[in-house]
Amino acid sequence: MTPEQRKYLALLSKQFPTAQAAYTEIINLEAILNLPKGTEHFMSDVHGEYEAFLHILNNCSGVVRERVRATFRHELTTEEQDDLCTLIYYPHEKLSRLKQAGTVTDEWYYQTLFRLVRLARYLSGFYTRSKVRKAMPEAYAYIIDELLRASSVGETSRHEYHVRIIESIVEVGAAEDFISSLSALIKRLAVDRLHLVGDVYDRGHKGDRIMDRLMEYHSLDIQWGNHDIAWMGAGCGSEACIATVVRTCVRYGSIHLLENSYGISLRKLYLFAHETYGGDAPAAPESGYRMPGSLGSSGSNATAPVERAIDIILFKLEGQLIMRNPEFGYEHRLLLDKIDREAGTITIDGVTWPLLTVDFPTVDPEHPYDLSEGERAVMDSLVRDFLHSALLRKHVEFLFSHGSTYLVSNGNLLFHGCVPLDAQGGFRPVRTPEGPLSGRAYLDFCDRIARRAWSVGDEEALDWMWYLWCGYDSPFAGRLVRTFERAFIPDKAAWVEPQDPYFTFNEDPDVCDRILAEFGLEGPYCHIINGHKPVRTVKGESPLKAGNRVIVIDGGFCHAYHKTTGIAGYTLISDADGLRLKAHRPFGSINDALDLNADIMSDTDRFERYFEPRRVEDCDNGKRIKAQIADLHLLLDAYRSGDLKERSSE
């Protein structure tokens, strides 16, 4: 035994001080290896659509309904099954409605509790008793544990015991608490881990509510999306990211998210916009367009003055950032000095485009990227509020602690956007402060520089946060974002955004195999899982690409994308039997679910089935457990050989 091994085993012996403790743990771990693989759910691009996201979490992407149907199809009517599903999704709210309808009686409590116990008992069979018990509410853990202990033989012998427990629960008035606890346990056991492949924020109005719910979730990881990076950069203090976030909220009518949820005041911005851009803006020659000039109230749909105000502030800040970071190669995006006010046009990449307006009173032709005094005051106020928002910092800290640029998990490579490729499908080198980097090394750098922006907050790292949000070489964006064109050029031909070759090569199995190999994955059951680009299923596009090596799970949770995708989001489910996609239909509202039992209906496509059901030993966690078992065997050998002394008396 080497000194290092002795030191390690001595430390391990503190946890397992006797041979009996060591081999007991070995037996326990060997048993865990033979349990079915835990069920993983993958979602992406929820974009602030809180109610739809919450419902998907509550119905476990339709898995709860499947289990209810399978268990009670011969016992309950369809309406009774629907009532039971909605009760599991929203126990407190559904109970209130059922009591108002006069449905709830002691007999109803008794039957409902037994039905919930049956569902929980089935799902608990996929886990160790220890893990199930940890998932229970502490106050009721012993009682629920007793109710779940049954087998095909034991259930009959223990039936009277269970009947008396249920009767006692109803008699003492604890039925509602137990219904809520069992419902939570069912949902907890239905999904072992959630992977969110980017973009919590923007477009929808309740990204903060989604973050609150994620912070309560039992087991999850997040792969950052470009919209998450913008909010993270804003939380770090990047002025360009702050202006980006404010602009997005203004344009999508989400001002209340900033003001009411995060306590970030836009008052100075609105006053500045009214003073500077109030009244009708002069139309650009040839365009015939006039922007409205009335000032709306905070929280309403954005009006032209405040849009123009934050647009120009953003383009000035971006210009300053581009000029101090020539390695970004973004000099061609310095556009404010390319405006021809007399002609009402702008020339971009050699093409001249008519503008919607030439009303840019704060743009000094001699110094177009300098903020005016009023703009500086607006930004100082915004930076102060962003950095002092306790809730925003809490949410951003959670994104950093539970998120990453990419994740390799159980044979799957998860990242939001792309791995930058060249025109031949090879890994494209990108200039960084650490030198040219490509492939996995570049994505690792992106992860490091983002974390540096949060922990150190130096200018270089903060500038990179802006570039990671919208840069062509960013693995989160992967395209040339044409913010200026969309704001001020009416011709949509100017809006076309060149994309990274990855989005073409993700149909090529050979290229995808090389990407997987770059991250240490190979074999028929390895996949790349992306979000970022909505899948246009309405036009026949498939989320499965490159012979099922690539799975794109952006199905358009956001209402704005429903017409584009033809559905309302995807959930990819990986269980012991293989992989399947759930394509969700649009969700009405939580009130519809409560009053009408209106669920999110989902179409299922099982596209990959394993030859044999996978067990824990086949997963990443199985590898870790096997390593623990090997260490425990070494500890046992040390005890038996006398190299280490057992400490049974301690």
Please list the residues that pair with 347 across neighbouring strands. 352
If DSSP codes are grouped into helix, strand and coil, which group holds residue 605? strand
- What's CA 523's distance to the chain center, in Å? 27
Domains: count for the chain? 3
Residues 6+ positions from 462 with CB-CB distance below 8 Å: 233, 236, 237, 238, 241, 453
- Residue 572 within a domain: yes
Place of tokens 């623990």: 628
Phi, psi of 544 (to 5 degrees): -95, 125
Q: Which of 465, 476, 445 minimizes the C-alpha distance to 396? A: 465
Angle 92-95-97 (CA atoms, 0-180°, nearest 5)?
A: 115
Supply the mean pLDDT for the chain.
90
- Output the CA torsion sign for 343, 349, 353, 357: negative
- Residue 207 within a domain: no
Encoded amino acid at 211, one letter: M
State the pLDDT at residue 466: 98
Q: Is residue 334 located within the same domain as residue 348?
A: yes
- Residue 264 within a domain: yes
**Would you say 371 and 361 are in contact if contact means Cβ atoms under 8 Å apart?**
no
Phi, psi of 551 (to 5 degrees): -125, 115
The answer, yes or no, to whether residue 301 has pLDDT greater than 50, is: no
Q: What is the mean predicted confidence (pLDDT) over 497-518? A: 97
The answer, yes or no, to whether residue 583 has pLDDT greater than 90, is: no
Please list the residues that pair with 312 across neighbouring strands. none
Strands 345-348 and 351-354 turn out to be antiparallel
DSSP state of 540: T
Q: Is residue 372 located within the same domain as residue 264?
A: yes
The answer, yes or no, to whether residue 290 has pLDDT greater than 50, is: no
Name the token pair of 515. Answer: 């990407």
- Residue 414 within a domain: no
- Percent of the chain residues topping a pLDDT of 70: 94
- Residue 447 within a domain: no
DSSP state of 407: E
Percent helix, strand and coil across the chain, each rounded to 5? Answer: 55, 10, 35
Q: In Å, how far are 136, 524, 599 from 507, measured between CA atoms?
A: 44, 16, 34
> Who wins on pLDDT, 80 or 647?
80
Q: Which of 74-83, 208-217, 289-298, 537-546 has the lowest mean pLDDT?
A: 289-298
Q: Is residue 31 located within the same domain as residue 44?
A: no
390, 412, 446 - which closes a domain: 390
Q: Which of 36-45, 285-294, 372-381 has the lowest mean pLDDT?
A: 285-294
Residues 6+ positions from 269 with CB-CB distance below 8 Å: 246, 306, 309, 310, 378, 381, 382
DSSP state of 521: -
State the pLDDT at residue 152: 52
Please list the residues that pair with 412 across neighbouring strands. 409, 527
- What's CA 13's distance to the chain center, in Å? 40
**Other beta carbons less than 10 A from residue 249's beta carbon:** 24
**Other beta carbons less than 10 A from residue 217's beta carbon:** 14
The answer, yes or no, to whether residue 139 has pLDDT greater than 60, is: yes
State the pLDDT at residue 292: 34
State the pLDDT at residue 587: 77
- Residue 203 within a domain: no
390, 423, 443 - which closes a domain: 390
- Residue 116 within a domain: yes
Q: Is residue 241 located within the same domain as residue 255?
A: yes
If DSSP codes are grouped into helix, strand and coil, which group holds residue 458? coil
Q: Which of 231-235, 268-272, 385-389, 599-603 has the lowest mean pLDDT?
A: 599-603
CA 248/CA 200 separation, integer angstroms: 14
The answer, yes or no, to whether residue 596 has pLDDT greater than 90, is: no
Q: Is residue 137 located within the same domain as residue 250?
A: no
If DSSP codes are grouped into helix, strand and coil, which group holds residue 617? helix
The answer, yes or no, to whether residue 359 has pLDDT greater than 70, is: yes
Q: Which of 307, 321, 301, 222 minimizes the C-alpha distance to 270? A: 307
**Would you say 56 and 583 are in contact if contact means Cβ atoms under 8 Å apart?**
no
Q: Is residue 81 located within the same domain as residue 50?
A: yes
State the pLDDT at residue 289: 32
**Would you say 201 and 476 are in contact if contact means Cβ atoms under 8 Å apart?**
no
**Would you say 563 and 573 are in contact if contact means Cβ atoms under 8 Å apart?**
no
390, 415, 435 - which closes a domain: 390
Place of tokens 């490159």: 546
- Residue 291 within a domain: yes
Q: What is the mean predicted confidence (pLDDT) over 584-591? A: 79
Q: pLDDT tier at 303 (50, 70, 90 boundaries)?
A: very low
Q: Is residue 70 located within the same domain as residue 27?
A: no
Q: Is residue 31 located within the same domain as residue 14?
A: yes
Q: Is residue 90 located within the same domain as residue 180?
A: yes
State the pLDDT at residue 565: 74
Q: Is residue 85 located within the same domain as residue 170?
A: yes
Phi, psi of 234 (to 5 degrees): -65, -40
Q: What is the mean predicted confidence (pLDDT) over 450-456? A: 98
Please list the residues that pair with 372 across neighbouring strands. none
The answer, yes or no, to whether residue 337 has pLDDT greater than 80, is: yes
| DSSP conformation letters of 271-286 | HHHHHHH-SPPPBPTT
**Would you say 267 and 217 are in contact if contact means Cβ atoms under 8 Å apart?**
no
**Would you say 189 and 127 are in contact if contact means Cβ atoms under 8 Å apart?**
yes
Phi, psi of 38 (to 5 degrees): -65, 150
The answer, yes or no, to whether residue 281 has pLDDT greater than 80, is: no
pLDDT in tens, 566-580: 767 889 999 999 999
Helix or strand (DSSP H, E) at 94: helix 91-100
Domain extent at residue 25 = 3-35+616-641
| DSSP conformation letters of 229-267 | HHHHHHHHT-HHHHHHHHHHHHHTT-HHIIIIIS----H
Please list the residues that pair with 409 across neighbouring strands. 412
Q: Which of 532, 547, 536 minimizes the C-alpha distance to 502? A: 532
Q: In Å, how far are 284, 336, 345 from 289, measured between CA atoms?
A: 7, 20, 13
If DSSP codes are grouped into helix, strand and coil, which group holds residue 559? helix
**Other beta carbons less than 10 A from residue 101's beta carbon:** 8
Q: In Å, how far are 207, 237, 490 from 385, measured between CA atoms?
A: 18, 10, 34
Q: Is residue 93 located within the same domain as residue 22?
A: no
Q: How many residues does the chain have?
A: 650
Q: Which of 76-80, 349-353, 534-538, 619-623 has the lowest mean pLDDT?
A: 534-538
Q: Is residue 575 located within the same domain as residue 624?
A: no
If DSSP codes are grouped into helix, strand and coil, which group holds residue 480? coil
**Which of the listed ranges 428-442, 521-535, 553-567, 584-598 does the model predict with the highest average pLDDT?**
428-442
Q: Which long-range contacts (CB under 8 A, 24 or more apart) does 128-132 make?
A: 128/28, 128/31, 128/32, 128/35, 132/185, 132/189
pLDDT in tens, 180-211: 999 999 999 999 999 999 999 998 889 999 99
Q: What is the mean predicted confidence (pLDDT) over 242-258? A: 94
**Would you say 434 and 442 are in contact if contact means Cβ atoms under 8 Å apart?**
no
**Would you say 59 and 65 are in contact if contact means Cβ atoms under 8 Å apart?**
yes
Helix or strand (DSSP H, E) at 375: helix 373-387
